[in-house]
Amino acid sequence: QVQLVESGGGLVQAGGSLRLSCAASGRTFNNYAMGWFRRAPGKEREFVAAIRWSGGSTNYADSVKGRFTISRDNAKKMVYLQMNSLKPEDTAVYYCAADRYNRIATMTWAYDYWGQGTQVTVSS
């Protein structure tokens, strides 16, 4: 089983940057694909980015491509989301998730474990 804890959220002005972190614990973390999802007020949870356990393949939502970068450090059991050029529409609770089948999928049901989320608020 994998436990995930997000951190790094906060209030930032439009055009600014934040780096989210997800700390993992439990067995076989380095064999899991990791994803970031977000849920804005009044909306369903949506895919943001994902990365295979090797770090060699990534997947991004069109809305964040070119602005966000997902990375991981398996030795530290950490996954990161660097968010640049933030927009007010990026405001959401951000969640990290782990997929034991290493699929870098865009669907929430593909992920086995979830963190509790960290709030990101972007002011205009």
Q: How confident is the model at residue 30 (pLDDT cuts 50, 70, 90)?
A: low
Express as a percent the part of the chain with pLDDT over 90. 92
Cα 71 to the center of its chain, rounded Å: 9
pLDDT tens digits for 59-78?
999 999 999 999 999 999 99
Which contiguous run of DSSP H or E holds residue 35? Answer: strand 33-39
pLDDT tens digits for 95-110?
999 999 999 999 999 9
With 90 as the cut, is the pLDDT of residue 31 above it?
no
Residue 27: what pLDDT? 72
CA distance 1 to 104: 18
| Cβ neighbours for 7, distance < 8 A, ≥ 6 positions apart | 20, 21, 22, 23, 118
